[in-house]
Amino acid sequence: MVQTHEVAYMADEREMVATVAVPDGPGPHPVVLIAHEGPGLDEVQRARASEIAALGYIGFALDYHGELSPFPTRDHMMARLGVLFADPDRTRAIAHCELHAALAEPTADPTRVAAIGYCFGGTLALELGRSGSDLKAIVGFHPGLTNLRPADNANITARVLVCIGANDPLIPGDDRTRFEREMQATNVDWQIHLYGGAQHSFTHPLASGAGIPGIGYHKIAATRAWTAMSLLLAEVF
């Protein structure tokens, strides 16, 4: 049986509220940070905490916008993401606050932690790994792959999986090639899964409703990506 609750904490000088789902049993349980898409923590991401807990892990659906979300316009959202992307130290600091809050859960196992993320949330998960945090796995679903500090990839100790739609205009082939080269320059255990016919945000059931070209839900790809993540988590935990 899964128990859920909310937890408030400070990050980026504002209050964040995460949804936490804890599996039954005394623990200690592995912890999986879940970083939401650019628009903010929504019910889809909150539900993913319970889906992670159903696998036997603590699901921590973190919040990296706080009261800024929901944004009044897409431009406001992009401005916020632009600030975070341009400042890896700030993004990493936020991620460390999220990690600290997650590990405060009474049954959390600090030696078995993974971070998964969607869109910019995937970038946040990768930046947490690049900071040298002790993670067992990092999974990015349609994450931004541009990296302002390629040398910091050497700090990643986690096994890395990125899941990308082949038709994603926001993650073009050049970005994928650059990411591959950066990973090959390290000793990181990494893999890329490319899904034919899938666009950006292919994992979010409501993505197609945004009416934005290049963004859309792809159920088959989403299922395959979740399965790949589940297998990796079982491997590392």
Average pLDDT over residues 179-203: 97
Domains of the chain: 3-236 (3.40.50.1820)
Total-model pTM: 0.97
| Residue whose entry in the numeric block shows the structure tokens 């809050």 | 101
Amino acid at 70: P
Count CB neighbours of 152 within 10 A. Answer: 19
Between CA 216 and CA 45 the distance in angstroms is 16
| Residue whose entry in the numeric block shows the structure tokens 């950006």 | 200
Between CA 92 and CA 72 the distance in angstroms is 26
Preceding omega of 213 cis (within 30 degrees of 0): no
- In this predicted model, what pLDDT tens digit does every residue of 87-102 receive, in sequence order? 999 999 999 999 999 9
- In this predicted model, what pLDDT tens digit does every residue of 61-82 receive, in sequence order? 999 999 999 999 999 999 999 9
DSSP string, 9-42: EEETTEEEEEEEEE-SSS--EEEEEEEPPTT---
Please enumerate in sequence order all residues whose Cβ is within 8 A of that of 143, keeping only pairs 6 or more positions apart, or say none: 117, 118, 119, 120, 121, 122, 123, 125, 126, 162, 164, 171
